[in-house]
Structure 1
Amino acid sequence: MTKSLGTGAARLHLALCIPLLVLLAAGLAWSRSAAMVLIMVLGVTALAVGPKRLLADEDQRAPWRHIRYAAYLFVIATVIRALVPSTMATPPTTMALIPNAFVVPAYLYLGWAYSGMLRRRRAAEDDPARIDALLVGLAGAFLTWTFVIAPAIDDSGMTVMRVLDAFFPIIDVVLLVLVAQLLLAGGARQPALWLLVVASTAMFVGDLLFTLRDAEMISVSQHVVDVLFAVMFVALPAAAVHPSMRTLTQPQNIVVRDLGRVRLAVIATVMVVPTVVATLMPLGSLGNNLVRALLCALVVVAVLVRVVRSNNSRVRAERASRRRATHDALTDLPNRELLAETVAGWAGRAEEEGLEISLLFIDLDRFKMINDHWGHRVGDELLCEVAARLGGQVRTQDIVARIGGDEFVVALASPSHLRLADSLAERLLVELARPFRLSVGDVTLSASIGVAKSYGGAHALELIRDADTAMYKAKGSGRNAVALFDTSLREQIRDRVKLEQALRGAARRGELAVHFQPIVDVRTGELDGFEALMRWNSAELGFVRPDEFIPIAEETGMIVEMGAWLLRESVRQLLEWRAERGPGARPLHVSVNVAVRQLRDGNLVTIVDQLLRDTGLDPSCLWLEITESGVMADIETALITLNALDALGVTLCIDDFGTGYSSLSYLHRLPVGIVKIDRSFISRIGADGPDEPIVRAVLAMTHAMGHRVVAEGVETQDQRDWLHGQGCDLIQGWYYGKADRPENLTHWISPQKVATA
């Protein structure tokens, strides 16, 4: 890692150089030369060391490297002037061209360095700093021409040396313009930037005095010019070793502010001064007058450009603000507000023009899994790809909007006989099922689409709501499907909302209960344990079937809290039963279903661990049932939780085996001890039932892997006998009893055989 010099290096540099500047300004002749040499040595050293130690990026070092090259050239020119006094004659002779041959490229290096800093800081294109800096430069050019170049030409004619002398203040003005842009463009105004301002100002003043002296317009000693040059040679290196120099080559957050008083005063000055000077100065030659008039005109034009650009910037800002309010920031698609506004506009002319307004509400199936597995960056990448695909399937007059996390709406208005919405919905299902090529590889998903139609009577938001309702119907029918809205769905949604509201707080109000179904050892006929099943008897709605409230609990996330409650109640009841049976009885287990939402919740392992610690229950007596589909949908994430649970010692069960993926390779990876065969297979065994080969294969496969097997849904003696003959380990079902309250199961608690082989 690149080491930082810290602000101490800049303070040390200034602490060494400022006394040398004083010595140079007021010391004896012999000490001045020594002071100048030391200043240049310290400056070159700082320029070489500072950027290398403070900046890791080679590209950010480039401007400072150009400044260092300029410093080398300045040193060479200074040495030449010291060794060859004739190069400093006044008025200048052709000998002055020798040091100037090094000074001119040094200035160019400085200009290139400042330009590079400005480019890397990335001032906004419409930032008024650019035009304000140009105004300062034009005013400086006007004054330089009026008071330096024009008098020099008028007095002694245009010679090479006069033009060259005039060149230095002009290029100083250019440098000041660049530094002014750095200063005015916003971002961090740190000490390094102010040191650049000091250096550039000292150069300009020094070169201006030098030029006026050579033009014999003023009398000033070379010593004064040398001191100003030394100030530049102190300030630039001090900037190079100050940590804030990083801000000069790093992107800045540019904030375009209102025109302040100081900035207004500067603009007014650069407008008024050239105009006043041009008015009061006596007329000169035709060429002089034309140049002055041209520079004044450029100042006026620059002011007009600034006014126009400021106005355009305001208009663009208003448009950008409007777009931010009506478009999604991630995909740049219209948002809900613009969608509703557009649909409302269509509705106003739908009846008159015979238009059918159709909305396709699109929800990406299991999108949360993608975010959870790969992170939000990949999720955002996928959303942008989905937006692009949707846009590629619609007409130019249609609207594709993003109105939620993974929810999109396609809106179209067309003659009703075309039935465009129906064909588009089917086409979108196929299009979205194609793999998306993302940064993490190919990702496949599906979508559920709800379609709602109107001929202009429905309010825009009502139409969006109806399409959303139809989408839930498509999702409920198995996902990757299209559903058309009909009015009966409103009643279903109303009932669902009512059910959801009643479910909230059901555990707190004591409305939830646990029913237990016996699980019996087939070989011995003994009770092995119970499966715990959640039941809800609402004070408002009465008894609600599990297949009605469990999906809602999972979808809303309430299942996490309800599942934790079920775990605690089940373990409490098991401990009570085990205490009743006594120490010599066969130990019982309790099997508790774990929802997919719980499996992905990071607190599940902590809840189980704390429960085992608090109760002292043998972990192997707690069975946790997980469905195939819940595990296989995101097996990598599920494995993390399952392995942690397995490490606690609990017994893991695959529930409803055979209805999901039923992959032997996946099953081999899971740390499960129990496989439960789904009741749909058990119902068709016995008396040469058609599913006997399947169940026989499952028994053989799972036993070979070292798992025990539970057969669910056993209802008849024939089913029980057949399973016993095939070596099934455990069975549960109505043959032995339905799930019931604990107080109705006391006859199971005393050790007994409930059936014989």
Structure 2
Amino acid sequence: MLRLSRTPSPASPPGPRSAVPAWAFLAFGGLAAVLYAVVPVALTPPLFLAVAVASIVATAIGARRHQVAGVRRPWWAMVAAETLFLGGAVLRAVIPGVDATPPGPAALIPDVLVVPGYLCWAYAVIDMLRRRRPTKADPAAADALLIGLGATLVVWVFLLGPRIAAAPESTASQVAAAFFPVVDVVLMVFAAQLMFADAARVPALWLLGASATVMFVGDLMYAVHEDGVDSGSPLVRLFDIFSLLAYAMMAAAALHPTMRTLTERQSVALRYFGIVRTAGIATVLVTPTVLAMVAPPSTGWNGAVRLALSFLLTVTVVIRLVRANNSQTRAERAARHRATHDALTDLPNRELLTETISRLSEADEGQEITLLFIDLDRFKMVNDSWGHAVGDELLCAVAARLRTAVRGEDLVCRVGGDEFVVLIASTTDSSQVASLTERLLDDFAEPFDLSVGSVVITPSIGVASSDGATEALELIRDADTAMYKAKSSGRNGYAFFDQILHEQVRTRVEIEQALRGALDRGELSVHYQPIVDLANDELTGFEALMRWDHPQLGRVSPLEFIPIAEDTGLIVEYGAWLLEEAANQLVRWRAARADDLPPLHISVNISVRQLRDSALVGVVRRALRRTGLPASTLWLEITESGVMEDPETALATLRALRALGVRLAIDDFGTGYASLNYLRSIPARIVKIDRSFVAGVGEGSHNEAIVKAVVAMAHALGQRVVAEGVETVVQRDWLRAYGCDLVQGWLYGAPRSADAQVAWMDRTATALQLDHLS
């Protein structure tokens, strides 16, 4: 046996990792910072060196351990920044005169490495932001800029402003020291964007943000120390402690498994403002006022700079508010569009159609509201033949054609799978609506050019109008009802909703409500119609037919309640009941029947809904097992149109039924998709000719040629033929002469209850015995 083993791709993301090393290193860094504050001065350089080197190594290990090749570049830049910072610290420790008081030109030598270190750190954060940021409309940039401007204002007031004012007395080292907090501010802006972005906030992100903040505070302290030029100042050691913490946090961020998300594109994760973010922005906004009170500007130009920074803060806030409002408006419009439009065709959906009808009705401007409810005929066959992708392609093409066919002010909607509605609000009269509807039928006659070639599909259109206040759902329902009338009239046409249809709808609703629970109330019964062998006029079986007697409605015609049971799905339950009742009755008849008489069969109709139900085979199997009826005596009647609703599923079900041993019959043959190909593909051994073709045979009707052809075709395929609706002796004799096998109809008996058929069978048996004796 061959086995395919899958090895991980070199570019695949690493699997789950433990976060323990990250937190352990952070604890190590914190402990080192505490020791740095208390150990003798002679021990501080080796302690600093150990922590810095360990951090650089840990960052490199984290990059290789948690990040895939090809996207480690920001982390290598971070390693380079740490290395350059360490190099600057080493130069500060070994070069004579760097720490001289007051500082001289030698103090600038470490900056040769420190400045590139800042550039590498900035590059790392910018690259992470570029890779990770979920959307360009993310408000994180504005919020980060607010933080940066606030920090810049603080740096200006306490460092840059005083340093520039004292320019003649300031050394180059002091100017450079004042420069680093400004750089830190820029870095903080980029780091804050990472923190504030509408994406997942993970521990590695928090650690990196904390590192940037600590660097800013440390550089601020160092700049203050340079102002004091006191080498023994405690600020020097505090600056080193903050540097150690920054190292440890960067390394911990790299060691944490979530670090890989800092270089992955994030999906938008909108959230409410947190306390920290809200407090930070609020602090920035009050900073100008607080600074003006605590440290008022000493010169005019100093005040001008502070005013400019305050102005930029205000402008940024305004931009932030405007963008947030616009973003919310766009989001609401997009959500509204998604809720009221079809995702496939981008047409308005049922919700927007309902709202528009209600709005026009409430306006009451004397306009007539007309709906054209359009359903595509046999659209399911397109999906079954070419797949749903082609079906979707056709729906989009239909949508485009409908848009082109109607006026700009008319509303074209898609309200269901293959259902469209055109809303017309005007003073248009019925003749103009009919003209538009006929034009739509003509437009659909033109083939649709699809990827599989030219496809022609026809519509059935229902028209309903209202010239006053109306309920939207009622008007849509009326148009839908008219569409079904057009479909039942032969498809590829249209029908207007009128009072007659309204009464039919009301009646249908009453019947549907009454039909629910009819089985539980014992209102359903089974009637049986004889099926006779034409060769000898002997009874061979019965067709079981469902009947319904309602206390108020009386005897309801099967032509009325069977389609409703089909539409509502009740036919699945009621059909299973009919099957078992008929099977039980045939078992009783067979037990009471004389041995010298032909064995009987029972024929039961299977509806389209039942045929689509995957449980049908199990229902038949259980009915046979519970009743003990031989499978060969059960005939199941199916229609050609029922099979063609879903050919693959239907044929698979029919083959499974045939495997049980039951016999399959094609009912109402000739009224659907009758052809030799269908007769060959459906595993049926009986063909039932519809009564509409039997009418007039023996009297020179044109139906005679059709019946002859069906009989000859069925016999050629080894199938038996049953003629339905035989009512006269002339019909019977003609059918017998041309080889029809079996017949049923009122000539031999109407559908009756089981008890009535027992009496009929007794009389028939007695008559046959008398015929034999005579």
The TM-score with structure 1 as length reference comes to: 0.84
- Listed as ranges, the matches of 1:138-149 within 5 Å are 138-149=149-160
Which of 17, 36, 44 does residue 52 from structure 2 map onto? Answer: 36
Structure 2 residue 246 is matched with structure 1 residue 229:
yes
CA distance in 1, matches of 2:223, 2:421: 71
Structure 2 residue 571 is matched with structure 1 residue 559:
yes
Which of 542, 567, 571 does residue 530 from structure 1 map onto? Answer: 542
Shift, 1:739, TM fit:
2.2
Q: Deviations over 1:202-240 (max 9, x none)?
A: 33334444555566667414743540331233232134x
Which of 294, 301, 313 does residue 315 from structure 2 map onto? Answer: 301
Could you say which residue in structure 2 is the equivalent of 1:657?
A: 669
CA distance in 2, matches of 1:753, 1:40: 111
Q: Indicate conservation of the 8 Å contact 1:714/1:731, yes or no.
A: yes
Q: Indicate conservation of the 8 Å contact 1:81/1:99, yes or no.
A: yes
Could you say which residue in structure 1 is the equivalent of 2:65?
A: 49
- Secondary structure of the 1:103 match is helix
CA distance in 2, matches of 1:441, 1:83: 76
Which of 326, 339, 352 does residue 335 from structure 1 map onto? Answer: 352
Cα distance change, pair 152–107 in 1 and its aligned pair in 2 (3 A): farther
Could you say which residue in structure 1 is the equivalent of 2:39?
A: none
Quick check: 360-369 or 408-417, which moved more?
360-369
Shift, 1:143, TM fit:
1.6
Could you say which residue in structure 1 is the equivalent of 2:212?
A: 200
- Secondary structure of the 1:505 match is coil
Could you say which residue in structure 2 is the equivalent of 1:14?
A: 23
Shift, 1:97, TM fit:
5.4
Quick check: 548-557 or 389-398, which moved more?
389-398
Could you say which residue in structure 2 is the equivalent of 1:678?
A: 690
Could you say which residue in structure 1 is the equivalent of 2:422?
A: 410
Q: Indicate conservation of the 8 Å contact 1:135/1:270, yes or no.
A: yes
Structure 2 residue 229 is matched with structure 1 residue 238:
no
Could you say which residue in structure 1 is the equivalent of 2:3?
A: none
Q: Considering only aligned residues, what root-mean-square deviation do their CA atoms show, in Å? A: 4.2
Shift, 1:295, TM fit:
0.8
Quick check: 379-388 or 165-174, which moved more?
379-388
- Listed as ranges, the matches of 1:163-312 within 5 Å are 168-185=180-197, 188-213=200-225, 219-221=235-237, 223-239=240-256, 241-242=257-258, 245=261, 249-255=265-271, 257=272, 263-283=277-297, 288-309=302-323
CA distance in 1, matches of 2:451, 2:331: 34
Q: Indicate conservation of the 8 Å contact 1:414/1:420, yes or no.
A: no
Look up the equivalent residue of 2:145 and give its one-letter code. L
Percent of aligned pairs with the same residue?
48
CA distance in 2, matches of 1:401, 1:384: 12
Cα distance change, pair 317–77 in 1 and its aligned pair in 2 (3 A): closer
Could you say which residue in structure 2 is the equivalent of 1:55?
A: none
Cα distance change, pair 621–216 in 1 and its aligned pair in 2 (3 A): farther
Could you say which residue in structure 2 is the equivalent of 1:637?
A: 649
Question: What is the number of residues matched between the two proteins?
Answer: 736
Could you say which residue in structure 2 is the equivalent of 1:695?
A: 707
- Listed as ranges, the matches of 1:715-726 within 5 Å are 715-726=727-738
CA distance in 2, matches of 1:583, 1:753: 17
Structure 2 residue 133 is matched with structure 1 residue 119:
yes
Look up the equivalent residue of 2:66 and give its one-letter code. G
Shift, 1:513, TM fit:
1.8
Which of 392, 395, 398 does residue 407 from structure 2 map onto? Answer: 395
Cα distance change, pair 554–432 in 1 and its aligned pair in 2 (3 A): farther
CA distance in 2, matches of 1:197, 1:436: 58
Cα distance change, pair 636–80 in 1 and its aligned pair in 2 (3 A): same
The TM-score with structure 2 as length reference comes to: 0.82
CA distance in 2, matches of 1:213, 1:332: 68
Cα distance change, pair 83–591 in 1 and its aligned pair in 2 (3 A): same
Q: Indicate conservation of the 8 Å contact 2:354/2:472, yes or no.
A: no
CA distance in 2, matches of 1:237, 1:143: 31
CA distance in 2, matches of 1:6, 1:188: 17
Cα distance change, pair 698–326 in 1 and its aligned pair in 2 (3 A): closer
CA distance in 2, matches of 1:232, 1:729: 93
CA distance in 1, matches of 2:374, 2:411: 13
Shift, 1:573, TM fit:
0.8
CA distance in 1, matches of 2:95, 2:541: 111
Q: Indicate conservation of the 8 Å contact 1:450/1:482, yes or no.
A: yes
Cα distance change, pair 320–14 in 1 and its aligned pair in 2 (3 A): closer
Q: Deviations over 1:558-613 (max 9, x none)?
A: 22222122111111111111111266754322111111111112322222222222
Cα distance change, pair 22–325 in 1 and its aligned pair in 2 (3 A): closer
CA distance in 1, matches of 2:34, 2:457: 77
Could you say which residue in structure 2 is the equivalent of 1:362?
A: 374
CA distance in 2, matches of 1:110, 1:167: 20
Q: Deviations over 1:109-143 (max 9, x none)?
A: 223234235523x48x3x65543333212101212
Cα distance change, pair 247–474 in 1 and its aligned pair in 2 (3 A): farther
Could you say which residue in structure 2 is the equivalent of 1:72?
A: 79
- Secondary structure of the 1:272 match is helix
Shift, 1:6, TM fit:
3.5
Could you say which residue in structure 2 is the equivalent of 1:602?
A: 614
Look up the equivalent residue of 1:22 and give its one-letter code. L
- Secondary structure of the 1:335 match is helix
Look up the equivalent residue of 1:341 and give its one-letter code. S
Quick check: 712-721 or 38-47, which moved more?
712-721
